[in-house]
Each structure stands twice: as structure tokens, then as C-alpha cells.
Structure 1
């Protein structure tokens, strides 16, 4: 008689949970995924206004080799799963406060005259030096950091990692490194704002993270036709073919772990599900403080530095706004001050930098013909309970909306945006916290500063409960 296959429960159908479930199923596990929401994808899901479609979270697919490798490991490819990845060209249009703009591109012929306009005749060589350094950050991080586990402090003493550390510049900020390559303040800004992908301040984020600019400029930016969630739906479908069961609208109340051994989960309905291993893909701080018995360690996690949050607008327009590209970045005049407001005072800057995505510019299915779907992401501080630093979200939302509309119009020449705006949805730190159980409404979890990553980050394997794991802490 054949033995029963090992079983696993995955809590959360976000990107990490879906990929983990498929990998476990391919390895022979009987896998059940439980998800509190009615959809897969987590923050990579969609928002709809009738025939308008918006990406709720990420709208740029970076580091494509990672995605392709995931599909390859599962015996397939994005193409085989009917995923169509569209290349964005240019990558962005970056707007400055004086109405000037810079277009980042993988096409060096387009970059050369722009860089030389700011940097002079030696500008292109400066750019090549930056690409060499940021490419080194990318390659070394892929080899010695992103593909490795760091279960204890000794793991940081691996010879190859120690040898690589000086070249990764983890103890210098992105801003300080970029100053070595560019003399123009505009290019320094253009090549550092991507730290916000990690919810970090470029004046404090480790220089290592220039790898983000490298992958954009070397590999390009892709957009999945139909929205970012199509990638995750593809992975979920692979999992289903391998036997993964998805239970949506199923909220977890606690982890069942008698005698320090994970045996399953208890749902808010009272139902209990049992398995040999449990993998949590929920927000780590939330999981420790709500799904497990609270203790001093779980409480300490709530005091660790967290990433920022966002006020995100989802706007349906009754016309096309030709002045906007697929990806647009509007940078504040008071660049450093804007980050201080977010990360030190946990507020919305008076003049924020912000990102505008127009999915209908590259994928016509995102909006009705002759109309545009627009997503605006305004970085803002995460939730605090500091009585000396109150956060009036109604006021902050109103201010953000007014500043965004005014800034887009003044810098691009677009007009009457408010008159052509026919429907709006909004996400704030408060709604991020409720919808996705995000601690402090921080959209990217705990900070990725040096002393909060590698062996300093909470571990993948629970330190005291056998058979309990965390995905992507």
C-alpha cells in the first residue's frame, strides 16, 4: 500500500505563497493554500471600475530572469502559460520641478544625448562606470545574498560573501555612491529614487540597492498583458495542475502547534486543517503577533524599523491623457526633505515625489477605447500611534490629490484632469493594514536596512516551533 504523501498548508495566496505551493506540489506534497481574500495575488491583485483595470500593487516586472527561472523550475515557461510580457520603452519619463524631464531607457542611443546634456562630454563614461558598479551589485547579490539562506550569524562569515562585501557597498548610501558617478543633481535624483521600490530613503538605503537601477537599464521593464496578477494566476494554475487546492475567503485565526510542533491551522470559522508543515506567507509581524501566542520576540518585531506606506489613487478618465507615458515619476524640488518627512516624521511631504502608471498606454485592455486608467502612488509614512505626531488621513488624502493633479498639469501641460476624472478608488495605510494585515500599513514589510537583512532578519524557519516556516520575511 502506497504511503500518504507529505502535506503542507500555505497561509496566504500572495506571490511567495503561490510560488511555494507550486514548488511543494512538484516535490510531491499535498498542498492546501488558504487566503482571507476572494482573490489570489495579494498586493499584486487588480482593482476594477467597470471596464477600467488597475494594478493594486506592482506595475513593473523587474529582474525577469528570476521569474523565468521560477517557471522553468516548475517545468514550464511564461509563454507556455499564455503570459505575454510587454517591454516598456522608455522605462520612465522622470519629471523635475522646472518642467524638464529625463527618459530612462535600455537604448544607449537615447540615453547618450540626455546624459551629456547634464554631465558634459564625459557623461557617458560616468554612466558606464555607474552601470559597472550597479551591475556588480546585482551579480554579487544574486550569487551570494538573494539565492542564499542566513539562518544564523555564522552564515554571514561565508568566505565568498565576506570577499564580496566591500564591492557591495552596504555601509554607504545609494546617494553617496551615486555622487561618485554623476555631478548633476538631476541625474543623482533620477538614479536613486528606485530605493522606494523597497520602501526606503535613498539617503539611507545601502548602496547595494543600485542593483535596481541596473536591472531596469540592462534588462528593461516589462508589463504583463492583463495586469501583474496574470503572472501569479499563471503560477496558481501550474499549482492546480500539480494538485494544489486553493481555499479563498478563508481566514486563519491561529496556528495549531502543541508541544512546539506545527500541526495545522485553525480558521476563524472554527474549522481546523492539519498538515505536516505550515508555511506562512502573511505579513511576518502580523503573523507573530496574531497567529501565534504573543511573546517578547513578537512584541520586539513591532518596534523594528518598517518600510513606508502609500496613498494610492486609482483614477478612471473619460479621455486619453497623451502627456503621460506608461511609467512616470514626478520628483519633489525639496528631494531630501521629502524623504525626511516620510521616514523620519512618518508624514506626507508638503511637496511629495510620486509615481504615475498608465497601464492603458501599453495594454489597451486596461481601459475602454479612447480612455485612460491611471494609478498614482504617493509614498507616505507608515501608521504611528505617536500623540505628538498625529496623522489626519482625510486631510492627507485631500492634500495628496490636490498636489498630484496640480503637479501633473503644471509639469506636463495636461489640462482639466479633475473635470475628466469620472471615478476614483483610494488605498491608504489604514486600508492596507485592514485588507492585507500589514503591520503599521507598511506596504513592503520590515525595513531592508543592513541591520534588518541577512542574518539580522527574522528567520525562514521558526526558532521554537518545528515544521513552521515563513515565506519572504
Structure 2
């Protein structure tokens, strides 16, 4: 066994996982003055935001929607840079996305207040003022969330007793108790408009009927602020995080799997404290000394497998948790042009309740062949010519399926299960029928797939979840859980399985919240930019 120790005794932080949250955490803590080492089990960084390459095709593995632009801009400003300086970001509005609802013609969605007003008036005459009022309310709640609910660890309630929250307390409580589905159906009748405003729940690994109406704030950022895409693909965003972390001084180890978080047992009667991590790579087992460990791996995996303590594993707690949804993903290379599909296309069944029931019914044993017939197709080659060879298209198909233990797998890392094959085949037929691309299956020249079992195997995802824990009321805000372990001192969490939640912006915010936790900062808003170290770290807050 080799030992990795710090030459200078500044506080050593080990970050587990080099996905978006891990790289963001490493960069911020390095800039804060910590000695940071990142340990990543895969050969490449990126995690769920990695990349699949096959000859001249290049697919983003997961994230494909750029929403909440303020969160990205603020994060880069912490490093004294900007989105413009780091990425070539383009906004999509021709259209921003396209909806195919069963029984209706394709519907193009263009963002911006006026465009949305006109769309609603066209499909449901008289609904223009209603969508204006709705989006105005969601904008208010969106700003409030940024100022009070996202950039906080909820270590004190003082930040929640502000005049703006007190004034809006009744409405906020109603938005938490009422579902997104109920809030939307109360205001609008047209099926397509209801689906447009309810699909935001899927971005949160949840279903519209179990997602609090407050998450309609995503409708504001999608429909008003707009949808963007980083040219070259989302891996360019990951590359920027990697670059910023390395420039700040972080050491990043890949192909290194952490299998234990060591703890100091010497203090009787008190919480044990982290002292290091053990990991394996191709050369054997190694130890890294640590004063702080930030796990950006799946939290259930961290608590049950890496800590090695029955109390920290919390089996009863996890039995009550909702893992959210999983997915079968298909990465397709297609010959010829596909103008029928936009950069983003949403394909919905007219009555999609059966789809959500199939994916989110926790009271039924997961069926390995069950899948949603409402799905998402990304065609980045509509915008970016570098993701596919000339004369070809790049498609990413996301098919929601139930989260399940030891689930089906695709062909990207394993021998594909027959259920995965059948689901992808059915999805391709469905896309062809709804979009009118009758020869889609015959034109596919590349096909790679992953399933719930791949998420579990590759990312240690609990129940093979694809995005993170569902954003139900009991798994939102302070109910989602603290980013500090209650059993092991010096162990913290970032990423989609802790607060504030699922998605790229939330992962960036979770990294910033670790900085605030270590500083003992109990404020509720974003940190001042650029990030200035408070002092050379020699201790950390509980």
C-alpha cells in the first residue's frame, strides 16, 4: 500500500467523484486554500455528464438542457471568469424545442414572454393573461429561491424569517403542498399546454402529481430565460470545470476507486472523525490522508458502503426515500437529415398518466420491461456540426423506466439485456410514428445503450436512479437532508443526492454550499464573487 500525504500541513480535502459536483467542489475548495485531491473511479472525468465517442460521432452521455443561466454565470464569476470566456454558448429559439403530443400536429415552442403569450392565445384563446400571471409569479419565486432557498445549508432559520418570505408565506406554503399537476390543470385546459408546463417534473426525477407546484420556477427559466447549448457539447462544460479545478491547484486521480472512508476512533463518546480514504487502482491499494472528505458519489452508497458504520448506513431512512426515475438511454447515429426533429423534441402520449404510473409507482415491484411512452429526443447535430460526420445525425433518446436494483443493462458497458433491446426498439418505432420518419430504424448506423443497471454499476446509483432523488415535498429543501454527516465529523456531501437537488445548476450550487458549510457561513444567498479565501484553512465548521 502506498500513502499519499501532504507536504505542507494545510487542510487536506479528498473529493470522491469527478463528475460536475466533484469538479466544482474541487475547484472552489482549492481556490479557498485547501489542499484538494479528487479520486474518480472511471478513466475519464465527467460522471453522468461524460461523453460517448464512436468514430466521428460524439454523444453527451446525459445532461443536454442548459437552464438557470444565472447559476452558471455566478459559478464562473467565483473563479473570476465568465460563461462567455469559457464556453461558446448559443441560445436555441428556432424553435427552442418541439412537442409531439399524440393526436396533435407538432408544436414548436419559442421562448420569450411575447412568444409564449401568443402560443397560449393560439391554442387556448383567452389564456394569454393567465400565462403572464403564472410566469410572473414563477419569476418572483425563482428569484426568492436563489436568494433564500438554494444557496443555503438551512443551519439556522433566521434567514427564512425575512420580510419577503413572511409576506409570501401563505402562497409559498400552498405551492409546496399543491402539486405541479394541480397548479397547471387549474389554470389551463389544453392538453398540450398542460404537458408543456408539467414536464418540468421529469427534470427533477419526479412526476407532476408528486412534485410541489413551487418547482414551476423551472417553467420561468425555460420559457422566459430560454434554452441554450454549449457548442462542442456539454463535455466542453465539464472540460472547463476540470481546467478551473486544475488551475486552482486540485490534484485529480482517475481510474481510482474509493472503497473505504477511514475514521479516527480515538475520541471516546464523540463522533468519529474522517482521517483518510482508501482507494484501489491498477497498481494496487493506496491511502490518502484527509482532514475533510466530500463525497460527490451517491449518498446511499457512501453511507452504506464507504463509511462502514451501521448507524451511518441508515437502512430505515433509505427504505422511506424515493429514488426517482431511471432511464434507458440510446445513443444513435443516423444516416441522412432529420429535419422533423428539433434540437430538443418531447414526445408525449395524449394521456400520459399511465407513463408516470409505470415509472414512479413505488408500491409495485419494478417490471424490467416497463417503460414510458412519453420520452425525450435530443438532436444536437441540428445545431452543432461537430457531433456527427457529414451527412449524418446524432440522436440521444431518453426513455424513462422505473428505478430498480440490479436492473437491465445496455451494450455500452455490458452485453445488452433483451429487455433493453426491446425497449429501445419500441422507442425507435414510437419516434418514427409520431414524427413521420418512417424509415428511422433502417437508417441507424450506430447504436449504443445504457440502462438502470449501468447507472448502478458505473455510478453506484441507488436503485439505478438516473438523475438523483425525486423532488417530492419530503425530499425538497431542508427535508432533502444535510450536506454534513450526522455520524462522521468531517464528512460532507455534494451532488444530486443531497441538497439542493437534481441537475447541473444544483450540482454547482451544492459545491458552493460545501464552501459555506466549511466557512460556517449561515447566509442564504450566493457568495460574493470572485471567491476570496477567508483565511488559510486550519479548521472547519461542523
Q: Specify the TM-score bucket, using the shorter chain as the normaliser.
A: over 0.9
* Alignment-derived partner of residue 375 in structure 2: 354
Contact 2:16 2:22 in 1 (8 A): yes
* Alignment-derived partner of residue 422 in structure 1: 445
Contact 1:136 1:167 in 2 (8 A): no
Residue 350 to residue 433, structure 1, CA distance change in 2 (3 Å) = closer
Residue 350 to residue 24, structure 1, CA distance change in 2 (3 Å) = closer
Residue 159 to residue 108, structure 1, CA distance change in 2 (3 Å) = closer
Match of 1:91 among 82, 89, 96: 96
* Alignment-derived partner of residue 390 in structure 1: none
* Alignment-derived partner of residue 29 in structure 1: 34
* Alignment-derived partner of residue 275 in structure 1: 290
- 1:436 maps onto 2:459 in alignment: yes
What RMSD in Å do the two structures reach over aligned CA positions?
Answer: 2.1
For residues 386-401 of structure 1, what are the structure 2 equivalents within 5 Å? Answer: 394-401=417-424
Q: Which runs of 5+ in 2 are unaligned?
A: 1-6, 266-271, 408-415, 499-542
Q: How much has 1:155 moved relative to structure 2? A: 7.0
Alpha-carbon distance in structure 1 between the residues aligned to 2:166 and 2:43: 45
Structure 1 counterpart SS, 2:322: coil
* Alignment-derived partner of residue 261 in structure 1: 273
Match of 1:11 among 8, 11, 16: 16
Matched length? 463
| Deviation by residue 1:64-116 (Cα, 9 ceiling, x = unmatched) | 110110110111122323x1111111221010101423222214454444322
TM-score normalised by length of structure 2: 0.81
Q: How much has 1:6 moved relative to structure 2? A: 2.1
Structure 1 counterpart SS, 2:252: strand
Match of 2:252 among 246, 261, 271: 246
Contact 1:338 1:349 in 2 (8 A): no
Alpha-carbon distance in structure 2 between the residues aligned to 1:156 and 1:77: 29
* Alignment-derived partner of residue 236 in structure 1: 242
Residue 291 to residue 178, structure 1, CA distance change in 2 (3 Å) = same
- 1:131 maps onto 2:147 in alignment: no
For residues 45-444 of structure 1, what are the structure 2 equivalents within 5 Å? Answer: 45-81=50-86, 83-89=87-93, 90-120=95-125, 122-151=126-155, 158-159=161-162, 161=165, 164-168=168-172, 169-259=175-265, 260-268=272-280, 269-298=284-313, 299-303=315-319, 304-344=321-361, 345=364, 346-347=366-367, 352-384=373-405, 394-444=417-467
Residue 340 to residue 163, structure 1, CA distance change in 2 (3 Å) = farther
Residue 383 to residue 156, structure 1, CA distance change in 2 (3 Å) = farther
Contact 1:62 1:221 in 2 (8 A): yes
Contact 1:59 1:223 in 2 (8 A): yes
TM-score normalised by length of structure 1: 0.93
Residue 30 to residue 297, structure 1, CA distance change in 2 (3 Å) = closer
Alpha-carbon distance in structure 2 between the residues aligned to 1:234 and 1:350: 35
Q: How much has 1:280 moved relative to structure 2? A: 0.6
Q: Which runs of 5+ in 1 are unaligned?
A: 387-392
